[in-house]
Structures are given as C-alpha cells and as structure tokens.
Amino acid sequence: MRIFARNLLTEHGFRPNQILTVEGGVLRRIAAGRDSEADHIFDLVLPGFINTHSHAFQWAFAGQAEYRTRPDDSFWSWRQAMYEAANGMSAEQLGRLARQLYARMLEAGYSWVAEFHYVHHQEDTTPYSDPAHIGHILIEAAQSVGIGICLLPVLYQYSGFGRQAPLPEQRRFISDDGLYGEILGSLRARWQGQPGVVIGMAPHSLRAVDVERLPQQLEAWHQPGMPIHIHIAEQPLEVEACVQHYGHRPVALLSQHCPIDETWTLVHATHLDASEMASIVRAGAIVSLCPTTEANLGDGVFQLSEYDQLGGHWSIGSDSHVCLNPAEELRWLEYGQRLRSNRRCVYASEQQPNVAVRLVLEAIRSGRQSLGLPTALWPSDHLCDFVAFDGMDWRKDTRPEQALSQWLFSGRPVQPAAVFANGLWRVWEGKHIERPHLDNEWQRLC
C-alpha cells in the first residue's frame, strides 16, 4: 500500500509530496513521489499522537462533577466523586467503557495510550483468582478497537505519607508486594511481546508507596527499558505534606531514593522548584502534562518556559478525559504559558518559530519515549501509525505549518479524516471503522 502525503510532518518539519510504502502494516520506506503512484492521497499526514496518561474509569463521570460541594472545592473534594465511580463499576462495565473511550481516542488522532490502571480488585475489594483480570480486560478493549496500549499496573499501598493505612474507599486499589508481583507476572505472561502492547509499571505516588522501600520493589519487578510512571507534585498540599514528613519536596525525595532515568515519566509535576526541574532534565525523564484535566481540577500551571530552557521533555495525556482532543491539550498548554508570561508564542524557538509544529513534534517524540517505543517519528520496519487530514478549508497559498496552526488554535471542529494505527486502518472518513457497532454498544452501556 502506498500513501501519498501532500505534506508529511517529519523531525525537520514538513516535507512535500511524500509516499509512505506500507507492507503488511509495516512502514518500509518514505520517499518523494507523485499522487498518481499512490493508493490513498491526503493533504496533511502526521505521526500518531501518544496519550501518556489515562484513567479509563474516570470517563464514566467526566463533566459530571462541575458543581460546588464546599467553598474550598478542589482536587481533594473531586477525589471523593472519583472513588465513587471506581467502586461502583464492574470489570465488565469498565471493559465496555474502555472500548468506547479508546475508539474515541483513535478518532481524535491518538494511536497509543498509557493506561494508569489501579482498579485491580472485585467490587467487594477481594482479588480475582487472576489478580490481573481487569488489566487483561483493558488490554483486550484496546486490542479490539486497534489502539496501542501501554498498561501500567499501579502499586498502591497507603493513603498518605508515612505509610498511613488505606482508606476504605481505596481498598479496591490496594496490593501488597506479593499480589502486585502476581499482577505483573500474569500480564507479562500473556501480553509481553505482543504487537500493540507494552507492559510497564507505576508506583501511584509517593503518598501511596513507601519511598524507602521503592528501590527494592523496583529492583524486584523492573525489566530493562520498561516504562515507569508516577503521579508527583500535582497539588501544593501534596508538596507541603511531603516536606513536613520527609523534609524534602517530592521530586527531590524521589531522586534521592531511585535511579530516575529515561524510562521514567513523572505525571503532572506541576509544583517544582528549580533544582527539581534540573534533576528531571539531567535524568532524561519525561513529564506527562494533562492540561485540560489540570485546569479542571485547579492543579496549577506547569512551568513550561523554565523547563524548556533547561532542555526538558514532556508529553500529553487526557487523564480524566474531560477532553479527548490532542489539539485541545496542546492549545491549553500554550495558552497557560501565555497567561503566565503575558507573551504570545511562548513555546516557539529560534530553530522552530512555528508554535504548533514545535508543540506537536515534542508531544509525539517524547510521548513515544514515555511508552518505551522507538522515538523516531517514522521508524522503518515497525508497525505504522499515522493521522491524516483532508479538506481543511485551506486557501491555495496556505502553508502546511499554517494549516497545523489552524487545527491547533482556531477551534474549528476538524477531525482526522483517517487514522492508521498498529498497522491497520482504524478510522476512515472521520469515524472508527466499527462505529455503527460501537454506537449500538454505547446505547446498551448507557
């Protein structure tokens, strides 16, 4: 199969009139060519977007917690609604919900998702006979609609710093070391090496694990190249509690105890000081930013300009799924920095003055690193992922960089025309190829 891209986004910007040759779902080569030589023709072709932070179950109540329950409503009061959603859902309901969610991610242009999975146990909080039962269901949901998935089974053991006992509403998430090892072992035995699947691991947060034991736990379970994700420094109260208990801020504390490197992704990292920021950059780790969720929860605004000046890398995630649009995440990211700095085009650079191009390139490249995928945007001899746009209402003299900017910043409801993920067409004419069946399932789920 030969795909003609009038404009193809590469590491060095857009290239005109390129043909992607795909054989058996695998990208074999990219070369200049003519549209007459191709099987399919698109105006604008980008690598697939990577969603580096997802809690599938939270989509069940996205947008339903937008009323004030107390004068100081915050992340911590929202968390109670989250617990209710997590504890009121069966494994089968979660699987059906995830299937719908992942299909919509594909329609938005995401080709891979990192699922930060901590709803491990039955509704009565006892483990399943296979303690990875729900993890398997989530991977099956992703496979059934065609999105690549990095499943991150979460280690969740405490309710707060100093090994505080879990709250009753957290019991469905809790695993001791033995049970967590069984979860990882079951997932690896079934899925490791399967196309479109990566198995990582995720200490939930420094609140939920014992940082002094974490190095030994990682040594027991981690494998070379395996992604490690952790929530960290999302809320000021979390930072204050960490300093009060340990005398150190969260990222500084983590760096003292664990050998952070390029396999790590620090989720949110909203509240950092300069030394913590520098330590992340030195380690080569990724920060997963979730701008629409962070705005929804009132978390704060990440210090992107300062982080960028140090050479830091970041990715995007939809997290609680109040938004499933990568363009929206990137727009909010840039606009947050404009509001902080009273400047425009904050993420532009001398090397890449177009903000949209630089945002998209960084989100995809670092997103791939976060999931343990090849970081090249177009890795040859791998299953191919791309997002294609057509009919974007361009003027004849519109450059591709301007078209990408329009998609990112104009708010026009432009959906990808097609998405090719993990070697197969998944979205065509803006709709998932199983959309009628998915719609019928959705009616039954609702």
Note the pLDDT tens digit of each residue in 80-104: 888 888 899 999 999 999 999 999 9
Spatial contact of 151 and 117, defined as CB atoms under 8 Å apart: yes
How far apart, in whole angstroms, are the C-alpha atoms of residue 296 and residue 239?
Answer: 20
Q: What is the dihedral of CA 198, 182, 86, 326, to 10 degrees?
A: -10
Residue 115, Cβ density class (10 Å: 0-12 exposed, 13-18 middle, ≥19 buried) = buried
Instruction: Kindly report which listed range (311-320, 390-399, 414-423) carries the lowest average pLDDT score.
Output: 390-399
List CB contacts of 330: < 8 A, sequence separation 6 or more: 291, 316, 356, 359, 360, 363, 408
Residues of the chain with CATH 3.20.20.140: 49-370
Asked if residue 394 has pLDDT above 70, the reply is no
Q: Give me the mean pLDDT over the 56-76 stretch.
A: 78
Measured in whole angstroms, the distance separating CA 390 from the mean position of its chain's CA atoms is: 25
Residue 296 confidence (pLDDT): 93
Q: What is the band of 396 on the pLDDT scale with cuts at 50, 70, 90?
A: low
Asked if residue 445 has pLDDT above 80, the reply is no
Asked if residue 113 has pLDDT above 70, the reply is yes
How far apart, in whole angstroms, are the C-alpha atoms of residue 368 and residue 48?
Answer: 10
Model's pTM, two decimal places? 0.97
Asked if residue 65 has pLDDT above 80, the reply is no
Asked if residue 205 has pLDDT above 80, the reply is yes
Taking alpha carbons only, the member of 261, 171, 174, 178 closest to residue 209 is 174
Residue 402 confidence (pLDDT): 94
Q: Give me the mean pLDDT over the 217-235 stretch.
A: 97
% of the chain exceeding 90 in pLDDT: 90
Residue 76 confidence (pLDDT): 62
Q: Name the residue with higher pLDDT: 421 or 396.
A: 421
Q: Give me the mean pLDDT over the 143-155 stretch.
A: 99
Asked if residue 317 has pLDDT above 90, the reply is yes
Q: Does domain 2-47+378-445 have CATH number 3.30.460.10?
A: no
Q: What is the band of 70 on the pLDDT scale with cuts at 50, 70, 90?
A: confident
Residue 292 confidence (pLDDT): 98
Residue 73 confidence (pLDDT): 66
Q: Which residues are catalytic?
A: 268, 319
Asked if residue 251 has pLDDT above 80, the reply is yes
Residue 446 confidence (pLDDT): 65
- The whole-chain average pLDDT of the chain stands at 95
Asked if residue 243 has pLDDT above 90, the reply is yes
Strand 197-199 versus strand 148-155 pairing type: parallel
- Report helix, strand or coil for 18: strand
Asked if residue 201 has pLDDT above 80, the reply is yes
Taking alpha carbons only, the member of 445, 438, 416 closest to residue 107 is 416
Residue 61 confidence (pLDDT): 86
Asked if residue 393 has pLDDT above 70, the reply is no
How far apart, in whole angstroms, are the C-alpha atoms of residue 138 and residue 143?
Answer: 9
Q: Give me the mean pLDDT over the 242-250 stretch.
A: 98
Residues of the chain with CATH 2.30.40.10: 2-47+378-445
Beta-carbon count within 10 A of 289 CB: 29
Cα angle value 191/438/57 (rounded, 5°): 60
Taking alpha carbons only, the member of 134, 133, 56 closest to residue 98 is 56
CATH superfamily of 49-370: Metal-dependent hydrolases (3.20.20.140)
Spatial contact of 117 and 154, defined as CB atoms under 8 Å apart: yes
